[in-house]
Structure 1
């Protein structure tokens, strides 16, 4: 039973189908992940499985985290993430979740952080049009008027203005797995996923049915 897996975005490439058409592919180094905790509704209020990803030395973790890992008899991990499940009794502490739990043509959802672009202006952040570039115009990329005069005499909350752009959590749904390389723990997913190369992503099975 596949519940989800953590991975690292390696990059994009392309493969060719049987008709010779190129298909965009994102390569994800997924897992292996270890089950570090099993939560049940009677004790924790909900059913979930906690996965650990990217091992690190036990001496480099906090005392509270060290006790958590020792309690589950597992090594220390840099990343911990929970996945809700309906039947937690189907899993065991220390169980390995890997690409072997996925299959070709399976539909998945991939969650990651988009590329951060820092403080940006209106044209880049909200696709505003710019002002004229000639004839003495001094309003090229400026926001212009942002208020509505004396009444109401203030700027309404949610006004589209300059600010932080990118670095947001996004989920791309219904991507198809076109290849699995078990030796190197690689998933080949059709299409693009959020984030730059090296970003952490989460891959979970989608509820969409295979076509």
Structure 2
């Protein structure tokens, strides 16, 4: 069985490579899998990139590339790659050849990791949408539920912080504008509030007990 691996920051992450194409192994996929399993994610990226060139319509090749990009912290690239995997998965479903693909890869798994990459890239609204789609396909996915709750909480806190900043910096009706020194003071206070919020979130995250591994 493959494993759901946990990133050491905010979210429960399912990032593990799949075993290859349904129509047989390719040298690139095998090399990518070996590099990935040894933690050589840059080598895995290069191999999986070649696999996508060898078979550009294969959703699994793009999925594997997305996992290697994610492991290197290239979250926006990973987002685009998981989206490419998702679109190719949908195309294969439309051609009614998804039975073989589904034996290896599920649409909900792609959406789940797409949400993770979006979350880590700071695109919380998109991440929430991806987690919601995951749960529509698999309502019992507790990891998606967990990450969705975190994303919603963080988005609300960011919105509250933005509102506080907006009220603090709103123009006043007095004849004189806020001076440069006052504006700088408000900016410093905003930064201090943001730093306190981040520290608070980190404390909450440490207390939430993220799962290290989960069978898939």
Structure number with higher strand proportion: 1
Query: TM-score, with normalisation over the residues of structure 2?
Result: 0.24
Query: TM-score, with normalisation over the residues of structure 1?
Result: 0.25
Q: Which has the larger radius of gyration?
A: 1
Higher normalized contact order (CA 8 Å, seq sep 6+, divided by chain length): 1
